[in-house]
Chains A and B, each alone.
Chain A
Amino acid sequence: MPPTSTHDLIVVGGGLIGSAIAWGASRAGADVILLDEGDVAFRAARGNFGLIWLQGKGVGKPPYMRWSLQAGHLWREFATLLVEETGIDIGWSQPGGLQFCFSEADIEKCRRIEAETRTDGGDIAITVMDRAGVEALVPAIGPEVIGGAYSTLDSHVSPLYLLRALQQGLQARGGHYWSAAPATAVRRDQGAFAVETPRGRVAGKRIVIAAGLGAAKLAPEVGLAMPVRPERGQIVVTERVKPFFPYVGSGVRQTVEGSFLIGSSHEEAGFSEATDVSTGAALCASAIRAFPQLAEVGVVRSWGSLRVMTPDGMPIYEESERCPGAYSATCHSGVTLCSAHALILGPALAAGTLPEAVSYFRSDRFDVQAH
């Protein structure tokens, strides 16, 4: 198939990062095409926990903390815009997040996070509390909980509806969405970019590689480095029970429908998305420490999914020096950062720039220094 028109921006990768950028760039007036491998892809967008968790994020890494908190503060505006535009209820709510503490060491860690966040000027209030404080918020907590930390900024969302809304929103604005269209080759061609897919060739003035774990191989073709590896997380889902936990927890949350989501593990398992009983049991055991009544509740399913991890766990956003107009975008927090990707990064890429807020996240920070 010959290339049709030359688009303003090609987005390679139809996960949460690519879809957010595509929707955001489209809102800024760009003619965007989003290339999606489809549900056969490794899909962190479909496997994740749906948490927008800000307390403690980026502690000791101020640029990451600032970018994450900026995203956190943008979520209300972002969710409102997306729901208004698409009519899809993405299930976002911001009840605030609770980190449960089971030991003095846990409480000490929360105090340290709170203090470091304040020292670094983080725009987030974290309240470290004793058991009575936690119990006042959640009477149902178990006897082993001796304290906790609470932040009003933390929230949660249905990642499935979020992804669908972004892709549908893009198309409603006249943007192009191709499924079953993994990029098999990317190259610069006479000042523009060309992407080969099984559905044909696509041409664009600019391109962003947001292909998750597939980016490692694709990015070098346009002079970008995206050294990402998979880290598996398993999640356990319970039957629906009458809601009794109206906040979000770091490893346990109750959906609006009543299911508990319990997560998630951090495993080196290569590209395996498999689950195992011992990991699921360990996840359940820690959830039961917070809420002993969950011991009675049935598990209805579990799954494994792959995080997209960079060497230091922080995102990569960069413009290629060899092929200007080609950009990279990857991180393991596609949900938390989704608002910033949609409202800041997408419009910036539509204009051919990178926002100042992400200038720290170049890939050359991974280069070994030769002395």
Chain B
Amino acid sequence: MFRRIDGGDNGTAGALSFDGQAIPFRAGDTVAAALLAAGVADVRDNPVDGSRRAPYCMMGVCFECLVEIDGRQNQQACLVAAKPGMRIRRQAGARLLPEGAL
């Protein structure tokens, strides 16, 4: 769906995982950029109507890119730098308090 502007591959800076799938990324990628570049079409389910949502504004405003990062829910994927070994999970609906109650 998305291509890198320079047409290159997704790099070898490292890999994170999204619901168990390995996602390679380039140095400087945010989590959202890495997911989109790897062809992930949507990252969360809206808490109101359950519809599937994907990163949209890519600048921290729209809150469409919420994911769980290393056990912490409702994180804005477009504002977090990708790091090797990060465990990303789909944000299913609203955040649960206390965390880990799933």
A residues neighboring B (CB under 8 Å)? 239-244, 256-258, 293, 296-298, 300
CB-based contact B95/A293 at 8 Å: no
Cβ–Cβ < 8 Å partners of B93 in chain A = 242
The answer, yes or no, to whether B27 is at the interface (CB within 8 Å) is no
The 5 closest A-B pairs by CB, nearest first: A258-B94, A242-B94, A241-B95, A240-B94, A293-B97
- Across the interface, B74 reaches (CB within 8 A) one of A244, A256, A257, A298, namely A298
- Measured between C-beta atoms, what is the minimum distance from A291 to chain B in Å? 9
Residue from B48, B95, B96, B97 in contact with A257 in the complex, judged by beta carbons closer than 8 Å: B48
For chains A and B in complex, what number of residue pairs have CB atoms within 8 angstroms? 36
Known A-B contacts: A296-B99, A297-B95. Give 8 more (CB < 8 A): A239-B63, A240-B74, A242-B97, A244-B97, A256-B48, A293-B98, A296-B97, A300-B63
Interface size on B, residues (CB 8 A): 11
What are 8 pairs between A and B in contact, CB < 8 Å? A240-B94, A241-B94, A241-B96, A242-B47, A242-B95, A244-B97, A297-B97, A298-B74
Q: With the chains together, A243 CA to B96 CA distance in Å?
A: 9
A317 to B96: give the CA distance in the assembly, Å.
47
A293: chain B residues within 8 A (beta carbon): 97-98
When distances are taken between beta carbons in the complex, the residues of chain B under 8 Å from A298 are 74
Q: Establish whether residues A239 and B74, one from each chain, have CB atoms under 8 Å apart when the complex forms.
A: yes
A344 to chain B, nearest CB (A): 34
Complex Cα–Cα for A221 and B63 (A): 48
**Given the complex of chains A and B, what is the CA–CA distance between A239 and B48 in angstroms?**
13
Q: How far is the CB of A204 from chain B (nearest CB, A)?
A: 42
Q: Give per-residue flags for B55-69: 1 if the beta carbon is below 8 A from chain A beta carbons, else 0.
A: 000000001000000
A244: nearest residue on chain B (CB-CB)?
B97
Interface string of B33-68 (1 = CB under 8 A from A): 000000000000001100000000000000100000
